[in-house]
Structure formats: C-alpha cells, structure tokens
Amino acid sequence: MEIAADLIRVLAEKDRIAFKKHSILRMNQRGILADEVKEVLLSGEIIESKEKKAMKCVLCSGGMERSAISVPYEMDQEYILVVRGVPAWVCRQCGDSFLDISVVRALEKIVATARQNGVTMGFIEYRNAA
C-alpha cells in the first residue's frame, strides 16, 4: 500500500513528523534543519515508498513506546554535544528511536545556543534547555 502524497502533506502541515535519531545526526552534519525537511514534505513528490503502519517501527514492525534517549550532535574537530533525556519513540523490539519534529526543532535551538555560547564539548539536559 502506498501512502498518498496529499496525506503526507496533511500530516506534515500538522507537524505529525518523526525523525530517526540517525537522521538528526546526518541532518546536522549537512546543515539541514527540521523545518527544511518539512518544507520538502509539503512541496515534494514521492519517488520511493515502503509499506508502513502507524506507530509500528518502520524497520522491524515492533511496537513503539515513549522513552527518553541521548542524542549526540557532532561535527568533526568542531564540537561534540550530547543532549540527554530527549523524549522519543523507541521500538520495543529493535531499540531504534524516532523523534517528533517539535523535539528536533528544540534540539536544533539547544545546540545552536550552546555553540553561540562557545560550548564545544559536553552534556546538556533536554528538560533544562528546551
């Protein structure tokens, strides 16, 4: 079954978007913001699709549960920041994690603020900074 492009747009418009933890690392390394991904979802077209069901892990179809994870932000020889206690959806079966777009936006602000303050290495608690 293919997810219709207009359904993706409706969900993206409502911020019903989740990001894999791995995606966030790669987005950061390429300078891509969560809202830029949203813009692509709103205006782009589908070039490939996989069968998916709501609230099931896209990798193993395991059930997802709310949890808190650590998210590393790093750029070679520039900074290594780890944000702890980040709310996420975690797969009970394979352990992979997904983050809502509102959380990714907050992470982007937290890391930008830390870098503006000259912080190049360390741990940041999400609940204190978000």
| Interacting residues toward Zn ion by CB under 5 A | 57, 59-60, 62, 91, 93-94
In terms of CB distance, is 86 or 91 closer to Zn ion? 91
Q: How far is the CB of 20 from Zn ion (least distance, A)?
A: 11
Q: How far is the CB of 92 from Zn ion (least distance, A)?
A: 8
Task: For helices 5-13 and 34-43, give the axis angle rounded to 10 degrees.
Answer: 140
CA distance 39 to 12: 8
Q: How far is the CB of 12 from Zn ion (least distance, A)?
A: 23
* Bridge-based pairing state of the strands 79-91 and 18-20: unpaired
In terms of CB distance, is 71 or 124 closer to Zn ion? 71
In terms of CB distance, is 34 or 64 closer to Zn ion? 64
* Closest by CA position to 71, among listed 12, 114, 17, 8: 114
